[in-house]
Chains A and B, each alone.
Chain A
């Protein structure tokens, strides 16, 4: 039965709660992230979107005092029991602020593959080219691979970070407001890119931009804090449905409020 459910669901949480010390930031979240689709997380600031996203690749492990209840599954397997290195190889992440390493463009993309055992320079070159092409950055940087990744524009840096993430062929890519630091043109580029990427990857994205969620995502999850400020999942459904006929009035309030 578990396998059946996991068939088209790449990641899933089951009664998942997370505490920062005594503070409950996530309350009993049950959510499914479908394979090779884009799932958008929306909701007001502080409702726990980033916290939930960071739970999928266990980045919250780094924060002292974090405790959790419930389970998160990747392909039907409990991520808490996985080796965290293996997990993060399968579940990549792109951050809100582009964070290329102070290394060359080549070394940025090759960083992950090198970690995981690709040493041969020509193998690396193939991976770097393929990843940069998929991230729609190749044409802009192919002659400057030795240049520092930090010398690129913000939008290029973010695509470099996407290339870096896909260079290790993850199954899932988590994106936390990947375009919030970018101008509209760069944002559009990233959105186009996500539409291409979803053929091969499962994508979960946090965004404050309703139009963006409407444009790029297949599914939308709406989150809200309860009276104790703990984040709850209000509803999850096909994006079209959430935006037109949400089943919860709070979703409608939020979305229409945003649209003005």
Chain B
């Protein structure tokens, strides 16, 4: 009897503790948003939200605070990272979960974990020393090596561990029965992977990609080191539309980090506004991913 009430007591206490910890993160997110928003308000008010979002000129000395170029920079570098990183990460995940013999997986998996542990500034160094000179060898007028391509590659490697890890877990969680069912119908290993296993793991793979996206949008220092940081709306530098990736750019994160140390007044507020935009962008990405995941589960 007493032990029964004690146990329900513990049960209740646990519930409260868990609720508080869950609420704590909500509260922190809210606090950060409110604080950033408060600091950004003067900029939004004086410059105007739409003006900031639609103007490509960022010249603090001239009181011009358009961040469209940075939105494009962040968007493009993230797109590039996803285009390069997702296939690589998915390939790794499939390889590790379905194909690799134990001893190879035993080498590859820790290497990927190591990749996740490398500080981003080191990625930046690697990008500067290896990738930038490499990209520079692409013949195109005005190609300096620094720019979206080098940054996308760096970013792709940085998000690879996250995406590969979670996707591998998702693939491993696919019930063994699906695989056996497919093979028993005369499917080859590859047919089974592409037609049954990957579709069944899709919700998990989507969340992996979104986590990667969030990480990519937020990456700062490595981007500053290789992307060139010029505030220009990236455009193709040759006839080939893909050469847009040879363009220099600046990311939203880079904009804040580069200038915050000396900014004052409205300039400082505009940097906070940049932060708000980044925040909302990431929320949009997460939201749409959640939506996609629900759709994926339904169908």
Residues of A within 8 A of B (CB): 57, 59, 62, 85-89, 92-93, 95, 97, 99-103, 111-112, 115-116, 161, 164-165, 168
Contacts and interface: CB of A to CB of B under 8 A. Distances in A.
B181 A92 contact: no
B184 interface: yes
Interface stretch (B88-96, B108-116, B195-203, B217-225): B195-203
A101 B178 contact: yes
B185 A168 contact: yes
A85 B196 CA distance: 17
A161 B181 CA distance: 9
Interface in B193-252: 195-196, 199-200
B177 A99 contact: yes
Contacts of B180: 59, 62, 95, 99
A85 B187 CA distance: 7
Contacts of A88: 183-186
Contacts of A57: 184
A97 B188 contact: no
Nearest to B202: A102
B48 interface: no
B175 interface: yes
B178 A168 contact: no
Contact of B181 (A62, A85, A99): A99
21 contacts: A86-B186, A88-B184, A88-B185, A92-B185, A93-B184, A95-B177, A95-B180, A95-B184, A99-B175, A99-B178, A99-B181, A101-B181, A101-B182, A101-B196, A101-B200, A102-B178, A102-B200, A115-B191, A164-B181, A164-B185, A165-B185
A85 B186 contact: yes
Contact of B182 (A87, A92, A111): A111
B181 A95 contact: yes
Contacts of A100: 181
Given A59-B183, A95-B184, 18 more contacts: A57-B184, A59-B180, A62-B183, A87-B186, A88-B186, A89-B185, A89-B186, A95-B181, A99-B181, A101-B181, A101-B182, A101-B200, A102-B178, A111-B195, A112-B185, A112-B186, A115-B195, A168-B186
Binding site of B, secondary structure by majority: helix, strand, loop or mixed? helix
A111 B182 CA distance: 8
A24 B101 CA distance: 24
B177 A97 contact: yes
Given A97-B177, A99-B177, A92 B184 contact: yes
A89 to B, nearest CB: 4
Contacts of B181: 95, 99-101, 161, 164
Among B175, B181, B185, B200, max chain A CB count under 10 A is at B185
B187 A115 contact: yes
A148 B235 CA distance: 46
Among A57, A88, A99, A165, max chain B CB count under 10 A is at A99
B177 A85 contact: no
Contacts of A165: 184-185
Nearest to A99: B177
Nearest to B297: A102
Nearest to A102: B200
9 closest A-B pairs by CB: A99-B177, A93-B184, A88-B186, A89-B186, A112-B185, A99-B181, A85-B186, A102-B200, A115-B187
A86 B180 CA distance: 16
Contacts of B195: 111, 115
Contacts of B191: 115
Nearest to B101: A64
A100 B180 CA distance: 11
A55 to B, nearest CB: 13
Contacts of B178: 99, 101-102
Among B181, B184, B188, B199, max chain A CB count under 10 A is at B184
Nearest to B185: A112
Interface string B98-120: 00000000000000000000000
Contacts of A116: 186
A144 to B, nearest CB: 14
Contact of A111 (B177, B185, B188, B200): B185
Interface in B126-182: 175, 177-178, 180-182
A251 B185 CA distance: 34
Contacts of B184: 57, 59, 88, 92-93, 95, 165
B7 to A, nearest CB: 35
Contacts of A102: 178, 199-200
B43 to A, nearest CB: 49
